[in-house]
Amino acid sequence: MSSTRVPAIMHVATPALSVVEAALAAGYDGVMIDLQHGEIGLDQACTMLRAIPRGNSYAFARAAGLEPGAIGRLLDSGARGIIAPTIETAQQAEQLVAATKYPPLGRRSLGPSRPALYDGPDYCVAGNAMVATIVQIETAAGVEAAAQILAVDGVDAVYVGPADLAVSYGLTGRADWAEGPVADGILRVAAAAREAGVRFGLYCSDPAFAAAEIRRAELDFVGIGIDLMFVGRQARATVAALAAALEEKS
């Protein structure tokens, strides 16, 4: 990864180790294995995490909720970051910290299924430093409470989901808003992140828009692209190209 480039993360909703390997081989810095949407179950996600090199800091998993047992299994299988969706209160952020951090900061239980996940003389201290606790803000309520959420001790990063954020403002659920309440909300969360000293990430669908947001909102990492959408887009383009070629020959 170039030191001048913001890390790029691909959302993976297909339960396949090969998709994870393909994304990393294509140049993505990491992936977000998505247990909230798509078809990936907990057992599958734990297996998919093993397709990611142990030293990759962007081996993220988005949990379906705040259930500590499921989060613990993902971490024990090698997830280096847990994203929790729809965080709207400091109390929810505290629940996430409790599930992702070892004592005394949290209540994560010791018991990794992958050996020697964290290097250091104090395993709990090393684990807490190496695992990113990431709150996902994706509603108007979350934006309003961003300062309180990001002030919770143990929160390492915030990730904004623009489509759900748009819906919460009564708009069409899509990514890539250059203006309006979604764009304003993103900047409010970015300012709260800088104030709290936590990393800031945003999902984008268009590379040019992502580049503009990296500069405008000073992103620390960017989510860009979803495996199923890539397949659908390329499939439509291929079928259309075939139809056009047949049309030319007729």
Catalogue the active-site residues. Answer: 37
Contact 11, 34 (CB under 8 A): yes
Ranges of H-type helices in 36-136: 42-48, 68-76, 90-100, 123-130
Under 8 Å CB-to-CB from 129, ≥6 apart: which residues? 118, 120
- Please name which of 202, 205, 213, 200 lies closest in space to residue 161, comparing C-alpha atoms: 202
Contact 31, 12 (CB under 8 A): yes
- Please name which of 95, 93, 106 lies closest in space to residue 147, comparing C-alpha atoms: 93
How far is 82 from 157, CA to CA, in rounded Å? 10
CB-facing half-sphere around the CA of 14: CA atoms within 13 A: 17
Q: CA of 115: how far to CAs of 38, 50, 142, 229, in Å?
A: 29, 12, 37, 35
How far is 232 from 228, CA to CA, in rounded Å? 6
